[in-house]
Structure 1
Amino acid sequence: MFTATLHFTQHRECILRRLTADLESPIPIEIEEIQNGFVTFVLRAGPHADPFQSALEDADHVEHVDRLDEENLLVTKPSCGAYSAIYQNHGTLRRANTVSGRQREYNVLVFRREDLKAIIDDFETFGTVTLGKLEEFRATDSPLTERQREVVTEALARGYYDWPREITNEGLAEELGISRATLHEHLRKAEHTLLSAALANGYRQTGRGQFERVDLALEGDD
Protein backbone atom coordinates (compact mmCIF):
# COMPACT_ATOMS: atom_id res chain seq x y z
CA MET A 1 0.00 0.00 0.00
CA PHE A 2 1.41 3.38 -1.03
CA THR A 3 0.66 7.05 -0.48
CA ALA A 4 1.60 9.40 -3.32
CA THR A 5 1.48 13.12 -3.99
CA LEU A 6 0.56 13.99 -7.58
CA HIS A 7 1.17 17.47 -8.99
CA PHE A 8 -1.26 18.01 -11.83
CA THR A 9 -1.81 20.77 -14.39
CA GLN A 10 -5.43 20.71 -15.56
CA HIS A 11 -5.89 21.32 -19.29
CA ARG A 12 -9.68 21.14 -19.18
CA GLU A 13 -11.88 24.09 -18.33
CA CYS A 14 -13.10 23.90 -14.73
CA ILE A 15 -14.92 26.40 -12.53
CA LEU A 16 -12.39 25.95 -9.73
CA ARG A 17 -9.61 26.75 -12.18
CA ARG A 18 -11.34 30.06 -12.98
CA LEU A 19 -12.15 30.92 -9.35
CA THR A 20 -8.62 30.35 -8.05
CA ALA A 21 -6.57 31.52 -11.05
CA ASP A 22 -5.54 34.89 -9.60
CA LEU A 23 -5.13 33.94 -5.95
CA GLU A 24 -1.71 34.02 -4.31
CA SER A 25 -2.17 30.85 -2.26
CA PRO A 26 -3.66 27.44 -3.10
CA ILE A 27 -7.16 26.72 -1.79
CA PRO A 28 -7.52 23.54 0.29
CA ILE A 29 -10.17 21.01 -0.70
CA GLU A 30 -11.33 18.16 1.50
CA ILE A 31 -13.04 15.36 -0.40
CA GLU A 32 -16.20 14.01 1.23
CA GLU A 33 -17.74 11.72 -1.40
CA ILE A 34 -17.42 10.65 -5.03
CA GLN A 35 -20.43 8.99 -6.63
CA ASN A 36 -21.76 8.54 -10.17
CA GLY A 37 -19.30 11.04 -11.64
CA PHE A 38 -20.09 13.72 -9.04
CA VAL A 39 -17.76 14.84 -6.28
CA THR A 40 -18.77 16.42 -2.98
CA PHE A 41 -16.08 18.40 -1.22
CA VAL A 42 -15.47 21.10 1.36
CA LEU A 43 -13.92 24.16 -0.26
CA ARG A 44 -11.82 26.03 2.31
CA ALA A 45 -12.50 29.37 0.65
CA GLY A 46 -11.53 31.63 3.57
CA PRO A 47 -12.03 35.33 2.73
CA HIS A 48 -13.14 34.35 -0.79
CA ALA A 49 -16.21 32.46 0.41
CA ASP A 50 -18.76 35.09 -0.68
CA PRO A 51 -17.64 35.47 -4.33
CA PHE A 52 -16.94 31.73 -4.60
CA GLN A 53 -20.44 30.92 -3.38
CA SER A 54 -22.08 33.34 -5.82
CA ALA A 55 -20.11 31.98 -8.78
CA LEU A 56 -20.78 28.36 -7.87
CA GLU A 57 -24.50 28.99 -7.38
CA ASP A 58 -24.69 30.70 -10.78
CA ALA A 59 -22.96 27.79 -12.57
CA ASP A 60 -25.50 25.52 -14.26
CA HIS A 61 -23.40 22.38 -13.85
CA VAL A 62 -22.88 22.77 -10.09
CA GLU A 63 -25.47 20.58 -8.42
CA HIS A 64 -25.36 21.95 -4.87
CA VAL A 65 -23.65 24.64 -2.77
CA ASP A 66 -24.09 24.95 0.97
CA ARG A 67 -22.49 27.55 3.24
CA LEU A 68 -21.03 25.70 6.22
CA ASP A 69 -19.72 28.78 8.01
CA GLU A 70 -18.03 32.09 7.21
CA GLU A 71 -15.09 30.50 5.38
CA ASN A 72 -16.17 27.07 4.13
CA LEU A 73 -18.46 25.80 1.37
CA LEU A 74 -19.84 22.31 0.76
CA VAL A 75 -20.00 21.77 -3.01
CA THR A 76 -21.33 18.99 -5.22
CA LYS A 77 -20.38 19.15 -8.90
CA PRO A 78 -19.37 16.87 -11.78
CA SER A 79 -15.79 15.67 -11.62
CA CYS A 80 -13.50 17.29 -14.19
CA GLY A 81 -11.83 13.90 -14.67
CA ALA A 82 -9.17 13.55 -12.01
CA TYR A 83 -11.34 12.02 -9.32
CA SER A 84 -12.80 9.45 -11.70
CA ALA A 85 -9.30 8.54 -12.92
CA ILE A 86 -8.19 7.90 -9.35
CA TYR A 87 -11.15 5.81 -8.27
CA GLN A 88 -11.56 3.70 -11.41
CA ASN A 89 -7.93 2.61 -10.92
CA HIS A 90 -8.51 1.46 -7.34
CA GLY A 91 -7.05 4.59 -5.77
CA THR A 92 -8.48 6.60 -2.91
CA LEU A 93 -8.10 10.32 -2.39
CA ARG A 94 -6.88 11.42 0.99
CA ARG A 95 -9.04 14.22 2.34
CA ALA A 96 -6.53 17.05 2.00
CA ASN A 97 -5.86 18.33 -1.55
CA THR A 98 -5.35 21.79 -3.07
CA VAL A 99 -6.33 23.80 -6.15
CA SER A 100 -4.65 26.90 -7.56
CA GLY A 101 -5.82 27.84 -11.05
CA ARG A 102 -4.67 25.09 -13.39
CA GLN A 103 -2.50 23.54 -10.68
CA ARG A 104 -3.73 20.70 -8.49
CA GLU A 105 -2.11 18.69 -5.75
CA TYR A 106 -3.69 15.31 -5.06
CA ASN A 107 -2.74 13.03 -2.18
CA VAL A 108 -3.61 9.51 -3.22
CA LEU A 109 -3.63 6.11 -1.54
CA VAL A 110 -3.15 3.02 -3.74
CA PHE A 111 -2.66 -0.65 -3.01
CA ARG A 112 -0.18 -1.33 -5.82
CA ARG A 113 2.36 0.50 -7.98
CA GLU A 114 0.48 -0.65 -11.09
CA ASP A 115 -2.61 1.23 -9.92
CA LEU A 116 -0.60 4.40 -9.43
CA LYS A 117 0.87 4.07 -12.93
CA ALA A 118 -2.64 3.64 -14.37
CA ILE A 119 -3.83 6.78 -12.55
CA ILE A 120 -0.90 8.77 -13.95
CA ASP A 121 -1.53 7.42 -17.45
CA ASP A 122 -5.19 8.51 -17.26
CA PHE A 123 -4.22 11.93 -15.90
CA GLU A 124 -1.96 12.48 -18.88
CA THR A 125 -4.93 12.25 -21.27
CA PHE A 126 -6.23 15.63 -20.06
CA GLY A 127 -3.29 17.33 -18.34
CA THR A 128 0.31 16.98 -17.27
CA VAL A 129 1.30 15.22 -14.07
CA THR A 130 4.46 14.71 -12.05
CA LEU A 131 4.91 12.34 -9.15
CA GLY A 132 5.98 13.99 -5.92
CA LYS A 133 6.42 12.12 -2.66
CA LEU A 134 5.87 8.36 -2.74
CA GLU A 135 5.83 6.36 0.47
CA GLU A 136 4.97 2.81 1.42
CA PHE A 137 2.64 2.20 4.32
CA ARG A 138 3.56 -0.80 6.43
CA ALA A 139 2.31 -1.88 9.82
CA THR A 140 4.27 -4.49 11.77
CA ASP A 141 1.09 -5.96 13.26
CA SER A 142 -1.93 -6.53 11.02
CA PRO A 143 -4.94 -4.48 12.18
CA LEU A 144 -7.27 -7.05 10.57
CA THR A 145 -8.98 -10.00 12.17
CA GLU A 146 -7.78 -13.42 11.08
CA ARG A 147 -10.88 -13.97 8.91
CA GLN A 148 -10.63 -10.51 7.32
CA ARG A 149 -6.97 -11.18 6.51
CA GLU A 150 -7.88 -14.52 4.92
CA VAL A 151 -10.59 -12.96 2.75
CA VAL A 152 -8.42 -10.01 1.63
CA THR A 153 -5.47 -12.31 0.90
CA GLU A 154 -7.66 -14.54 -1.25
CA ALA A 155 -9.16 -11.52 -3.02
CA LEU A 156 -5.69 -10.22 -3.90
CA ALA A 157 -4.46 -13.65 -5.01
CA ARG A 158 -7.50 -14.25 -7.21
CA GLY A 159 -7.27 -10.88 -8.94
CA TYR A 160 -10.36 -9.31 -7.38
CA TYR A 161 -8.51 -5.98 -7.07
CA ASP A 162 -7.01 -6.13 -10.56
CA TRP A 163 -8.35 -3.94 -13.37
CA PRO A 164 -10.27 -5.42 -15.02
CA ARG A 165 -11.12 -7.89 -12.28
CA GLU A 166 -10.03 -11.47 -12.86
CA ILE A 167 -12.79 -12.85 -10.62
CA THR A 168 -16.29 -11.61 -9.83
CA ASN A 169 -17.66 -11.15 -6.35
CA GLU A 170 -19.87 -14.20 -6.96
CA GLY A 171 -16.86 -16.29 -7.95
CA LEU A 172 -14.77 -15.10 -5.01
CA ALA A 173 -17.59 -15.80 -2.56
CA GLU A 174 -17.94 -19.31 -4.01
CA GLU A 175 -14.18 -19.93 -3.67
CA LEU A 176 -14.35 -18.89 -0.02
CA GLY A 177 -17.55 -20.82 0.66
CA ILE A 178 -19.45 -17.78 1.90
CA SER A 179 -22.35 -15.65 0.68
CA ARG A 180 -21.80 -12.47 -1.34
CA ALA A 181 -23.23 -10.46 1.56
CA THR A 182 -20.70 -11.97 3.96
CA LEU A 183 -17.89 -11.42 1.45
CA HIS A 184 -18.80 -7.75 1.06
CA GLU A 185 -19.00 -7.31 4.82
CA HIS A 186 -15.51 -8.76 5.35
CA LEU A 187 -14.01 -6.71 2.51
CA ARG A 188 -15.73 -3.49 3.54
CA LYS A 189 -14.56 -3.77 7.15
CA ALA A 190 -11.04 -4.77 6.12
CA GLU A 191 -10.76 -1.92 3.60
CA HIS A 192 -12.06 0.59 6.15
CA THR A 193 -9.53 -0.60 8.73
CA LEU A 194 -6.59 -0.53 6.30
CA LEU A 195 -7.49 2.83 4.78
CA SER A 196 -8.09 4.43 8.16
CA ALA A 197 -4.68 3.21 9.33
CA ALA A 198 -2.95 4.39 6.17
CA LEU A 199 -4.57 7.81 6.26
CA ALA A 200 -3.37 8.46 9.79
CA ASN A 201 -0.29 10.18 8.31
CA GLY A 202 2.21 7.46 9.14
CA TYR A 203 0.95 6.57 12.60
CA ARG A 204 -0.88 3.51 13.85
CA GLN A 205 -2.98 3.13 16.96
CA THR A 206 -1.48 0.98 19.70
CA GLY A 207 -4.11 1.66 22.32
CA ARG A 208 -7.00 3.95 23.06
CA GLY A 209 -5.67 7.44 22.30
CA GLN A 210 -2.13 6.13 21.78
CA PHE A 211 -0.22 6.05 18.46
CA GLU A 212 3.28 5.10 17.37
CA ARG A 213 5.24 6.08 14.28
CA VAL A 214 5.17 3.60 11.37
CA ASP A 215 8.28 2.97 9.28
CA LEU A 216 7.44 4.52 5.90
CA ALA A 217 10.74 3.77 4.15
CA LEU A 218 10.05 2.85 0.55
CA GLU A 219 11.50 -0.44 -0.63
CA GLY A 220 12.89 -0.72 -4.13
CA ASP A 221 11.19 -2.62 -6.93
CA ASP A 222 11.57 -6.39 -6.97
Structure 2
Amino acid sequence: MREVVFTVVHEPGVNPVADLLADYPSARLRSLACHVTESTLWRVDRASGPTAALDELEDLAGARYFTDCLVRDGCDGDWETTVLDRTDGSLVLYSYWERTPDCDSIPHLAREHFGDGVVLDETWRGRRQQWRVLAPDGPVSAFIEDVQEVADADIEFERITDPDPEPDTELPPKQADALTTAVEAGYYETPREIETYELAEQLGIPGSTLSYRLRRAESWLARQYVQ
Protein backbone atom coordinates (compact mmCIF):
# COMPACT_ATOMS: atom_id res chain seq x y z
CA MET A 1 0.00 0.00 0.00
CA ARG A 2 1.30 3.42 -0.95
CA GLU A 3 0.24 6.74 0.53
CA VAL A 4 0.56 10.22 -0.92
CA VAL A 5 -0.44 13.26 1.16
CA PHE A 6 -0.41 16.69 -0.43
CA THR A 7 -2.19 20.04 -0.28
CA VAL A 8 -3.57 22.10 -3.15
CA VAL A 9 -3.27 25.80 -2.24
CA HIS A 10 -5.79 27.89 -4.19
CA GLU A 11 -5.07 31.52 -5.01
CA PRO A 12 -7.72 34.19 -4.35
CA GLY A 13 -10.35 34.56 -7.06
CA VAL A 14 -9.68 31.14 -8.63
CA ASN A 15 -12.02 28.75 -6.83
CA PRO A 16 -15.25 30.09 -5.28
CA VAL A 17 -15.33 27.36 -2.61
CA ALA A 18 -11.78 28.25 -1.53
CA ASP A 19 -12.68 31.94 -1.43
CA LEU A 20 -15.72 31.20 0.72
CA LEU A 21 -13.83 29.01 3.18
CA ALA A 22 -11.06 31.60 3.43
CA ASP A 23 -13.66 34.11 4.61
CA TYR A 24 -14.68 31.74 7.43
CA PRO A 25 -11.52 30.32 9.09
CA SER A 26 -13.50 28.01 11.39
CA ALA A 27 -15.36 26.35 8.51
CA ARG A 28 -14.25 22.97 7.17
CA LEU A 29 -15.23 20.76 4.24
CA ARG A 30 -14.46 17.03 4.26
CA SER A 31 -15.28 14.19 1.89
CA LEU A 32 -17.35 11.38 3.37
CA ALA A 33 -17.21 9.28 0.19
CA CYS A 34 -15.68 9.68 -3.25
CA HIS A 35 -16.12 7.29 -6.18
CA VAL A 36 -14.71 7.69 -9.68
CA THR A 37 -14.84 5.98 -13.06
CA GLU A 38 -13.07 6.94 -16.28
CA SER A 39 -15.74 9.49 -17.21
CA THR A 40 -17.72 10.20 -14.02
CA LEU A 41 -17.28 11.16 -10.39
CA TRP A 42 -19.71 11.17 -7.52
CA ARG A 43 -19.08 12.13 -3.92
CA VAL A 44 -20.62 13.11 -0.59
CA ASP A 45 -19.15 16.04 1.38
CA ARG A 46 -19.83 17.30 4.86
CA ALA A 47 -19.27 20.96 5.65
CA SER A 48 -19.21 22.37 9.17
CA GLY A 49 -18.92 25.93 10.44
CA PRO A 50 -20.89 29.12 11.05
CA THR A 51 -24.43 29.35 9.73
CA ALA A 52 -23.47 32.16 7.35
CA ALA A 53 -20.72 30.03 5.80
CA LEU A 54 -23.08 27.08 5.29
CA ASP A 55 -25.71 29.38 3.78
CA GLU A 56 -23.22 30.67 1.21
CA LEU A 57 -21.88 27.20 0.49
CA GLU A 58 -25.42 25.94 -0.09
CA ASP A 59 -25.92 28.81 -2.55
CA LEU A 60 -22.84 27.59 -4.48
CA ALA A 61 -24.33 24.11 -4.88
CA GLY A 62 -24.78 23.69 -8.61
CA ALA A 63 -22.84 25.31 -11.42
CA ARG A 64 -20.17 26.87 -9.14
CA TYR A 65 -19.56 23.95 -6.77
CA PHE A 66 -16.52 22.40 -8.45
CA THR A 67 -14.41 21.13 -5.56
CA ASP A 68 -12.63 18.58 -7.74
CA CYS A 69 -12.05 20.31 -11.07
CA LEU A 70 -8.44 21.47 -11.46
CA VAL A 71 -9.14 23.88 -14.32
CA ARG A 72 -8.82 27.57 -13.41
CA ASP A 73 -11.81 28.88 -15.34
CA GLY A 74 -14.27 26.23 -14.24
CA CYS A 75 -15.54 23.15 -16.01
CA ASP A 76 -18.11 22.68 -18.76
CA GLY A 77 -19.00 19.18 -17.58
CA ASP A 78 -22.45 18.14 -16.43
CA TRP A 79 -22.25 18.79 -12.68
CA GLU A 80 -25.11 18.31 -10.23
CA THR A 81 -25.00 19.06 -6.50
CA THR A 82 -27.84 18.26 -4.09
CA VAL A 83 -28.26 19.08 -0.42
CA LEU A 84 -28.80 15.83 1.50
CA ASP A 85 -28.96 17.22 5.02
CA ARG A 86 -28.78 20.59 6.76
CA THR A 87 -28.56 21.45 10.46
CA ASP A 88 -27.40 24.55 12.30
CA GLY A 89 -23.73 23.57 12.12
CA SER A 90 -23.56 21.00 9.34
CA LEU A 91 -24.28 20.71 5.63
CA VAL A 92 -24.11 17.43 3.66
CA LEU A 93 -23.85 17.64 -0.14
CA TYR A 94 -24.05 15.01 -2.86
CA SER A 95 -22.32 15.78 -6.18
CA TYR A 96 -22.24 14.03 -9.53
CA TRP A 97 -19.91 15.07 -12.35
CA GLU A 98 -19.62 13.83 -15.93
CA ARG A 99 -16.04 14.50 -17.01
CA THR A 100 -15.12 16.37 -20.20
CA PRO A 101 -11.81 16.30 -22.14
CA ASP A 102 -10.99 19.82 -20.93
CA CYS A 103 -11.32 19.04 -17.21
CA ASP A 104 -9.40 16.89 -14.78
CA SER A 105 -9.46 16.05 -11.10
CA ILE A 106 -7.32 14.47 -8.40
CA PRO A 107 -9.59 11.38 -8.21
CA HIS A 108 -9.46 10.85 -11.98
CA LEU A 109 -5.67 11.20 -12.07
CA ALA A 110 -5.35 8.80 -9.15
CA ARG A 111 -7.51 6.20 -10.89
CA GLU A 112 -5.56 6.53 -14.14
CA HIS A 113 -2.23 5.92 -12.39
CA PHE A 114 -3.23 3.40 -9.71
CA GLY A 115 -6.28 1.66 -11.16
CA ASP A 116 -9.23 0.43 -9.13
CA GLY A 117 -8.97 0.21 -5.36
CA VAL A 118 -7.81 3.78 -4.74
CA VAL A 119 -9.00 5.33 -1.45
CA LEU A 120 -9.29 9.12 -1.34
CA ASP A 121 -9.71 11.38 1.66
CA GLU A 122 -10.02 15.16 1.39
CA THR A 123 -10.12 17.89 4.03
CA TRP A 124 -10.45 21.54 3.07
CA ARG A 125 -9.78 24.52 5.34
CA GLY A 126 -9.51 27.99 3.87
CA ARG A 127 -7.59 27.87 0.63
CA ARG A 128 -5.79 24.66 1.63
CA GLN A 129 -7.31 21.49 0.16
CA GLN A 130 -5.49 18.49 1.60
CA TRP A 131 -5.65 15.13 -0.18
CA ARG A 132 -4.66 11.73 1.17
CA VAL A 133 -4.42 9.03 -1.51
CA LEU A 134 -4.05 5.35 -0.59
CA ALA A 135 -3.30 3.11 -3.57
CA PRO A 136 -2.52 -0.61 -3.86
CA ASP A 137 0.05 -0.18 -6.64
CA GLY A 138 1.24 2.18 -9.34
CA PRO A 139 3.89 4.79 -10.14
CA VAL A 140 3.77 7.42 -7.42
CA SER A 141 6.26 9.76 -9.13
CA ALA A 142 4.25 9.83 -12.39
CA PHE A 143 1.04 10.62 -10.48
CA ILE A 144 2.75 13.46 -8.63
CA GLU A 145 4.10 14.97 -11.84
CA ASP A 146 0.67 14.86 -13.48
CA VAL A 147 -0.93 16.58 -10.47
CA GLN A 148 1.71 19.31 -10.63
CA GLU A 149 1.34 19.82 -14.38
CA VAL A 150 -2.49 19.80 -14.45
CA ALA A 151 -3.32 21.74 -11.28
CA ASP A 152 -3.36 25.49 -11.72
CA ALA A 153 -2.40 26.02 -8.07
CA ASP A 154 0.51 25.57 -5.69
CA ILE A 155 1.04 21.96 -4.61
CA GLU A 156 2.71 21.12 -1.30
CA PHE A 157 3.68 17.47 -0.88
CA GLU A 158 3.74 16.53 2.79
CA ARG A 159 4.26 12.79 2.87
CA ILE A 160 5.03 10.16 0.26
CA THR A 161 5.53 6.51 1.10
CA ASP A 162 6.70 4.39 -1.79
CA PRO A 163 8.15 0.93 -1.02
CA ASP A 164 10.09 0.93 -4.30
CA PRO A 165 11.26 -2.70 -3.84
CA GLU A 166 13.06 -2.62 -7.17
CA PRO A 167 14.68 0.81 -7.68
CA ASP A 168 14.99 2.07 -11.24
CA THR A 169 18.21 0.97 -12.90
CA GLU A 170 18.08 4.09 -15.08
CA LEU A 171 17.11 7.65 -14.31
CA PRO A 172 13.62 8.41 -15.73
CA PRO A 173 13.86 10.64 -18.85
CA LYS A 174 12.09 13.69 -17.39
CA GLN A 175 14.29 13.64 -14.30
CA ALA A 176 17.41 13.07 -16.38
CA ASP A 177 16.52 16.02 -18.63
CA ALA A 178 15.94 18.29 -15.62
CA LEU A 179 19.21 17.24 -14.02
CA THR A 180 21.24 17.65 -17.23
CA THR A 181 19.77 21.08 -17.90
CA ALA A 182 20.43 22.13 -14.30
CA VAL A 183 24.09 21.08 -14.50
CA GLU A 184 24.63 22.77 -17.87
CA ALA A 185 22.97 25.98 -16.65
CA GLY A 186 25.17 26.20 -13.55
CA TYR A 187 22.44 25.36 -11.04
CA TYR A 188 24.86 23.31 -8.94
CA GLU A 189 27.72 25.78 -9.11
CA THR A 190 28.82 27.81 -6.06
CA PRO A 191 27.53 30.45 -6.16
CA ARG A 192 24.52 29.27 -8.13
CA GLU A 193 24.42 30.73 -11.67
CA ILE A 194 20.68 30.27 -12.21
CA GLU A 195 17.68 30.28 -9.88
CA THR A 196 15.04 27.56 -9.72
CA TYR A 197 12.31 29.69 -11.26
CA GLU A 198 14.60 30.67 -14.17
CA LEU A 199 15.49 27.05 -14.81
CA ALA A 200 11.81 26.09 -14.67
CA GLU A 201 10.99 28.76 -17.25
CA GLN A 202 13.78 27.43 -19.47
CA LEU A 203 12.30 23.93 -19.28
CA GLY A 204 8.74 25.20 -19.64
CA ILE A 205 7.48 23.53 -16.45
CA PRO A 206 6.20 24.79 -13.07
CA GLY A 207 8.83 25.44 -10.40
CA SER A 208 7.26 22.82 -8.10
CA THR A 209 7.56 20.20 -10.86
CA LEU A 210 11.22 21.04 -11.42
CA SER A 211 11.99 20.88 -7.70
CA TYR A 212 10.35 17.48 -7.44
CA ARG A 213 12.20 16.08 -10.48
CA LEU A 214 15.56 17.32 -9.18
CA ARG A 215 14.91 15.85 -5.72
CA ARG A 216 14.05 12.47 -7.25
CA ALA A 217 17.09 12.59 -9.52
CA GLU A 218 19.36 13.48 -6.61
CA SER A 219 17.86 10.64 -4.56
CA TRP A 220 18.51 8.20 -7.43
CA LEU A 221 22.11 9.37 -7.73
CA ALA A 222 22.65 8.98 -4.00
CA ARG A 223 21.33 5.41 -4.04
CA GLN A 224 23.55 4.56 -6.99
CA TYR A 225 26.58 5.96 -5.16
CA VAL A 226 26.12 3.91 -1.97
CA GLN A 227 25.31 0.60 -3.69
TM-score computed with the length of structure 1 as normaliser? 0.50
